[in-house]
A and B are shown apart, each in its own frame.
Chain A
Amino acid sequence: MTTPTPRPTMASRRQLLGAGGALVLATFWPTMHHGRAQGAARSGGTAAEQGMLVENAQGVFAPNAYIRIAADNRITLILPNVEMGQGIYTSSVMLIAEELGIDMAQVAIEAAPPGAGAEITGGSTSVMTEWLPLRQAGAAARSMLVQAAAARWQAQVADCTTRSATIIHVPTGRTLPFGAVAAQAAALPVPQKPTLKDPATYTLLGKPQHRIDSTVKVEGRAIFGMDVQVPGQKIGTVAACPVEGGTLASMNRAAALAVHGVQAVLVNAPNNTVCVVADHYWAARKGLRALKPQWHYGPNAHVTTQTIYDQLHDGLSGPAIVANTKGDAPAIIAHAPTTYTATYQQPLLAHAPMEPINCTAHVRPDGCDIWTGTQIADRARDTAVELTGLPKEKVAVHCQYIGGGFGRRLEHEYVTQCIEFARQLPYPLKIIWSREEDLTRDRYRPAYVDQMTAALDDRGFITALTHRIVGPAVVARWDPPELTKDGYDEDLSVTTIITPYTYPAYRLEFARREAPGVVTAWWRGVGGTRGLFVVEGFIDELAHRAGADPVAYRRAMLAQNPRALAVLDKAAQLAGWNTPLPPGRARGVAVQFAFGSYMASIAEVEMPEPDNVIIHRVTAVVDCGRVLNPDQVVSQIEGGLIFGFSAALYNEITLEGGRVQQNNFNTWRIMRMNEAPRKIDVLLMPSTEDPGGIGEVGTAAAAPVLANAMAAAQGRRYRTLPLLSPRNGATGKEQG
């Protein structure tokens, strides 16, 4: 009954996607009793309100890890991926509800505990990995409930149907609520290959459903990690050495303890971090100011932004790993009559989710509870086990709503930090990072330099292409076994090897350069976002060089790819690509295949001056396979584009003396409503292909589509991000 769970790392998922197939994870886990510690802010057992997370759901009928049905017809669904805005709780419920035969409004939801959920929520993989197992879970449960009801009625299973958590005997009209036969259903064997509904009969999937978390969020009642209230908790705020690798030199403990409300001053020697604990955050913050920790900055005190860029540009020559090759591209380029080379540069980026980093932990001799927003609950649990020496079953991670993930919560150093401090205290501790700590001690999307060289035929089309990526291999720290034996990080293949285009000859090289003085990490699409800016910028340059229309040039390259061609044609039509623009306006285009989804996007911009970009309109046409919840796909594209526009236009983490210089929203600029596109039109192509990912799709398009539109507006190329950097002729006066 147990299927071994393959280790679903981000890279391996993407590899499989690159092979054109969707990865299917383990379908059924054994029914498990979670062994979660009590003491949660809320627990199951009472009628739950839609969208509020419950815990420890019990049910007499628990056919698999996802479904609990109680005798009183209470239905709880245990959801494997975490909700951080992407709408996965809603689509997960839709998948189960469609096959189980229940209404969306009838369910309570619980975040899966570590070991029972997805190991990670990231890489735009949630829908892809849930698509089959959650439907099977619903169908298996429905089959067992119907069998139990039919047995009670001494009727035929074939004469029974289900609706709204009720089994109906069609010939007689008799009904039984699920709960009434839950105990009998539980005694039946779990069908291993339940029959799934014909998609033509879907009543939920493919039709817009409201988010199940909308109401609790607009009423301010959704509980994020930041909102967790555990009886007896105190609030701590932390400071780590502002230079990576530095050590604590001195501090004024007495001054901190003298602040009204301060309870304790803690030092975590291994990580060189201090924590001031108080009755409330403000007292902790004042205490930390009074503490005035002083640091030895250590070996990274000399690092500047230029140190990092110099190292990356240095990697453009010399040895590199060959990540992918087809034909002999270097030889073709060497003998080609015409070649074209361009070099692209991208900065370090912070995540800056609206909810600053936080974690609550209660470490006791007999157990440990952790409440936080995390995309990797398993790792958080394992770290707690390691640090406390407690057995696994004595450590509970209570996953909360996440106030923005974007890859930041694929790191869990803040959980480690919280446990290290909380274990020094007899009471529960909530640590809250100031926004300044959040930005200056983030783990950053790496900076990269890319160089592409093309050999061109007499019409200006590619006959051979070489592409060298210089930068860190994020996976080498984050999941070392996923680094290939040659030392390649396959995340870098997204939108470079994995692309809608085919080239006659091709060579992708990777020169690994780990940035000094910063820890680099995932972001909203590391490979996809960084790669697409380079590739679509370069294709656009080649079109320009050939004197070709950028859409027509791409069309010619996509003749073998009907799905890509279809989204491009539709986008061109909707955006009026071939219609004249008002004076001063220009359009740019980008086409992509990433995370299993195709998209073509067109931006219409105006640049009254080099510092001022008005984005009038963005048109995006998406083919992400079968769409589960159409309006939420649209929402992810709208938001993903705007998230990406902030980074593309404004964002660059810089270092001086080893210290990050951007420390709050006055120096880390986020796109505001008056700067957001006037209009974003998203069209979804009908498709019966398996679902692709969507969370990072819009963000990947943002920089290339905007850079290409700005290039058309200004008659110059943009090869360096951020677009409004002084390096691109902007004064930077708008920054901050």
Chain B
Amino acid sequence: MLSLNINGQSHQVDVDPDTPLLWVLRDVLGLNATKFGCGIAQCGACTVHMDGRAVRACNLPVGLIGEQHISTLEGVAPTDPVAKAVQAAWVALDVVQCGYCQPGQIMAAIALLRSVPNPTDEQIDSAMSANLCRCGTYVRIRAAIHHAAGALA
């Protein structure tokens, strides 16, 4: 049994320690906001926060997490002002299309805005380029991050 701190709650899970966090979230705990896209940390659909940093859950073995705090999209909203501003910007600009990558995009954007409250286009590109969107919503993601930064300023 492994103990994990997820969204402020302690969970005991009976999985091998090499099991990626993604599958514990989705298939063991039923937390489905974090998505499976590639399994090799190439697409960012599984982006979660570990002690506030954006990390890829698909190649993060739960055995390595220890005491570090994991937040998923279910956990960051609706109490966190940055998360709220990002989600509101995404709705205001109707960023989503199919929406499958967007939880990962939003988690990456929240992490960016927490460390860089008013990012330039270049800083946004640099922080967000690990997150793929097949529908091609990049232009709106960029705009929505500026929008959220403006709302938080």
Contact = CB atoms under 8 A, between A and B. Distances in A.
Are A and B a genuine interacting pair, yes or no? yes
Interface of A: 84-87, 210-211, 213-215, 217-224, 226-227, 229, 235, 260-261, 279-283, 286, 352-356, 401-406, 432, 434-435, 631-632, 635-636, 638-643, 645-646, 664-666, 670-680
B35 interface: yes
B134 A406 contact: yes
Given A210-B94, A224-B100, A403-B98, A281 B26 contact: yes
A674 B99 contact: no
Contact of B91 (A87, A210, A435): A210
A181 B38 CA distance: 52
B97 A87 contact: yes
A404 B33 contact: no
Contacts of B37: 354-356, 435, 665
B152 to A, nearest CB: 16
A101 B125 CA distance: 44
A444 B11 CA distance: 43
B126 to A, nearest CB: 7
Candidate in A210, A218, A222 with the most chain B CB atoms within 10 angstroms? A218
Nearest to A405: B98
A403 B99 contact: yes
B66 interface: no
B136 A638 contact: yes
Q: Which of B24, B126, B135 has the most CB of A within 10 A?
A: B135
A215 B99 CA distance: 10
Nearest to B132: A670
The 3 A-B pairs at the shortest CB distance, nearest first, are namely A220-B33, A642-B136, A403-B100
Nearest to A679: B139
A646 B91 CA distance: 26
A275 to B, nearest CB: 16
Given A222-B99, A665-B43, A674 B126 contact: yes
Interface centre among A280, A286, A645, A678, by most B CB within 10 Å? A280
Contacts of A214: 90-91, 94-96
Interface in B39-64: 39-40, 42-43, 45
Given A85-B98, A229-B32, A260-B16, A665 B38 contact: yes
5 contacts: A85-B135, A211-B94, A224-B100, A227-B26, A435-B37
A342 to B, nearest CB: 29
A467 to B, nearest CB: 30
- Interface of B, secondary structure class, is loop
A639 B97 contact: yes
Given A210-B94, A280-B27, A673-B131, A85 B20 contact: no
A676 B90 contact: no
B136 A401 contact: no
A403 B40 CA distance: 19
Contacts of B43: 354, 665, 670
A672 B129 contact: yes
Contacts of A356: 36-37
A517 B2 CA distance: 46
Given A235-B27, A665-B132, A673-B124, A432 B99 contact: no
Contacts of B28: 279-280
Contacts of A355: 35, 37, 98, 100
Contacts of B100: 224, 226, 353-355, 403-404
Contacts of B99: 85, 213, 217-218, 222, 401, 403
Given A85-B97, A672-B129, A281 B27 contact: yes
B139 A676 contact: yes
Contacts of B118: none
B139 A638 contact: yes
Given A217-B102, A356-B37, A435-B39, A676 B97 contact: no
B69 interface: no
A679 B96 CA distance: 18
Nearest to B16: A260
Contacts of A673: 124-125, 128-129, 131, 133, 138, 141-142
A592 to B, nearest CB: 18
B96 A217 contact: yes
B101 interface: yes
A676 B136 contact: yes
A359 B148 CA distance: 36
Contacts of A434: 39
Most A CB contacts (10 A, CB to CB) among B24, B100, B130 go to B100
B73 interface: yes
A141 B98 CA distance: 31
A354 B26 contact: no
A54 to B, nearest CB: 18
Contacts of B77: 219
B42 A665 contact: yes
B137 interface: yes
A280 B40 contact: no
B82 interface: no
B116 interface: no
A404 B32 contact: no
Contacts of B106: 218, 220
Contacts of B98: 84-85, 353-355, 401-405
Contacts of A632: 94
A482 B135 CA distance: 30
A670 B129 CA distance: 11
A673 B15 CA distance: 36
A252 to B, nearest CB: 19
Contacts of A260: 15-16
Nearest to B142: A673
Given A435-B37, A635-B97, A673-B128, A404 B135 contact: yes
Contacts of B32: 220, 223, 226-227, 229
A403 to B, nearest CB: 3
A525 B87 CA distance: 32
A283 B14 CA distance: 12
A387 B37 CA distance: 30
A118 B103 CA distance: 29
B101 A354 contact: yes
A218 to B, nearest CB: 4
Nearest to B136: A642
Contacts of A403: 35, 98-101
B15 A432 contact: no
A220 B43 CA distance: 17
Nearest to B73: A220
Contacts of B101: 354, 403
